[in-house]
Each structure stands twice: as structure tokens, then as C-alpha cells.
Homo-oligomer: A and B are copies of this chain.
Amino acid sequence: MSASPPTTRKVTLSDIAAGCGVSRATVSLVLRGSPLVNARTRERVEAELRRQNYVYNRSAANLRRRTSSSIALVLNDLANPFFAEFAAGVDEALGTAGYVTLLGNSGESRTRQQAVLGSLVEHGPGGIILSPAEGSTAPEVLAAVGAQVPLLLFNRELEEAGAQDAHWDRLLLDNRTGARLATEHLLAQGHRRIAFFGGHGDSSSAQQRYAGYRDALRAAGAKEAAHWRVETAPTRLDAARQTERLFARAPAPTAAVCYNDAVALGLLLGLHQRGLRPGRDFAVTGFDDIAESAFSTPPLTTLATAPRERGRQAAELLLARLHDPQAPAQTVVAPVRLVVRESSPPPSDR
């Protein structure tokens, strides 16, 4: 038998063709399952494919066909379990549709995001799913991706969008309704002095959640106090640190709607440190329902966003757009579901 040459070249269509005495065209037809080829020929070719251990070169095919079989996924924080779940959902749905995921992580850095987008676009993805870094503007994103490749925005809006927002689709969470539900739940429990805790005022999701909170308060005729709106970084650590600001002035709140679960978990910690017992002396709600929230002490009342399902949905929206590039841009607002656990009891001082 012939020894394989020192540098094992990749085996191509031509090798197969030569190996069983047909033309490249025929082999190509076999590969693509065309009904044109004779059954016997097909078998010979398929045997040869196996024998030579052929692997299809999809890039070459994509080049010729002017198609793409990849989708870029660019996230603002892959290390965050919420986005990790989302990515898993995206990859799952793309995989079953025969696409491959090009991953990029901006880590909330706009400049890194630009670099990542630029580099991914050079690989010619069929579309892009982007959860933008905080503060990203429409012009900069459009400059990086161009107007040609379909873009699906997840989770956040772009700033300075102007009239350009017709150029992309959006999948957003129903932040406003979610925060309203949480607030209504606390109101129903009997709370009247309810704070809104955490998040940055200039992030669109924080604004929306804050708006939902105010909707509920206003509808119930409840008041707000200025020191009941405390901004923090959306991290556990900063939330724990800022806890005291809720109690800086009287009257102190008896409950808090938190920007997200990380902040809520931090608040639990901060309350503990002040000698308060969250779930008994003080009610707390979160947002996201990260895995941890079911196991915290006390387990956290929060809003489930089903990130994996969102990921699948995002992928499907984008694939639908690839299928019909001319359809008008759409915005889908995904519902969120209130999950009541033990962190949101009625007020204790009644």
C-alpha cells in the first residue's frame, strides 16, 4: 500500500473525482444529493468519499455560492450567566438550522465591540446578533457592520438611533411590565414604602424598569421618596455597599424592587450586615431569575426571563429575516414571568 506523503494535503473534490474516474462536477452533485446522478455512480463516489476521508470545505462553497453558513453573536458580557444561557440557546437553534456561531465578547467595552464586530464581519456572517455594550450608538454600530448584513439587537437599544432604527430587528425584554409586576406584588403584600434599588440611570433597561415601578406606584396612589431611588453598578458587590443609602433618611422603605438579581443578592447581603433579616423584616425582588436566586437565603422573588429560550428566539428571528430580507423591521418584546419566592413577605411592622 502507498505510504501517505509527509505533508498530508487536504483531500478535495478533485481527489475524489480522480479516485473513481468521474468529473468534479459529478462528485459535487453527489455531495449535494442531486437526483440527477445515476444510482451506481453515486455509490461509487460515496465509497470513495469515505475511503479518502473527505471533509467538505464549506468556505469554498460559500464563496462560490455567495452564501453564508455562519451567524455572529456578539455579547456585552459572556461571563454573565444570563448571557451564557442566552448564548447556549442561540447556538442550539443556529446549530439545528445548519449554521455555525461566530462568537465575540465585548465585555462592555465599546471600542472592543467595534474591533470584534469588524473582525467578525470580515468572515462574512449571514447575520449578526448583538447585545450591545452599554452606551453604544447606532452610527458606530452601523459603521462597523455595514447596512448589508442583517442585524438583530438583543436586550438593549442603541443610542442616537434617529430614523435608522428601521435597519435592524429587535428582541427586547418587557422590562417595564416586569418591574410593574414586581411592584404590584409588593403593594399587594401591603407595602407602601417601596424603593427602587440599583442599576445605572443611563442604561435603557434600568430606565424601563424604573418606569414600570413608577407606573405601579402611581396606579396605586403610593408615594416615592427621592432617597428611595439608589443607583449602583449592576453588581452584587456595589449593591451591598450602597445598601445604607436606603436608610439614610426617614422614612425608610420596607421593601425594594431591585434592578436585577445580582443587585438583589447584594442587597440581601447588605441588609444582613445592617442586622436586618431580608424575607422577614424587609422585602426584596430581583429581575432575571438567575440559577442562584432559587437557592439564596431567602430564595428570591424575581422575574424569569428564560434566557435560553430568548436565545433560541433571537436565532429564529434572525433566520426569518435572512429568509425574507425585505420584510419590515420588527421589534419583539418578550414577556417576563413573576416568580414569587420567600424574599417578599408582607411588611413586619404592621
The interface of chain A, by Cβ under 8 A from chain B, is 8, 10, 53, 55-60, 62-63, 66, 69-70, 73, 78-81, 83-85, 87-88, 91-92, 95, 98, 100-105, 107, 115-116, 119-124, 146-148, 236, 265-266, 269, 272, 292, 295, 297, 308
Contact = CB atoms under 8 A, between A and B. Distances in A.
A62 B148 CA distance: 22
A272 B296 CA distance: 12
B70 A78 contact: no
Contacts of A120: 100
Number of identical protomers? 2
A289 to B, nearest CB: 14
A148 B53 CA distance: 11
A325 to B, nearest CB: 10
B79 A100 contact: no
A24 to B, nearest CB: 16
Contacts of A8: 147-148
Contacts of A122: 55-58
B88 A116 contact: no
Given A55-B146, A78-B84, A295 B265 contact: yes
A84 B73 contact: no
Contacts of A297: 272, 297
Contact of A88 (B100, B105, B124, B265): B105
A87 B104 CA distance: 10
A118 to B, nearest CB: 8
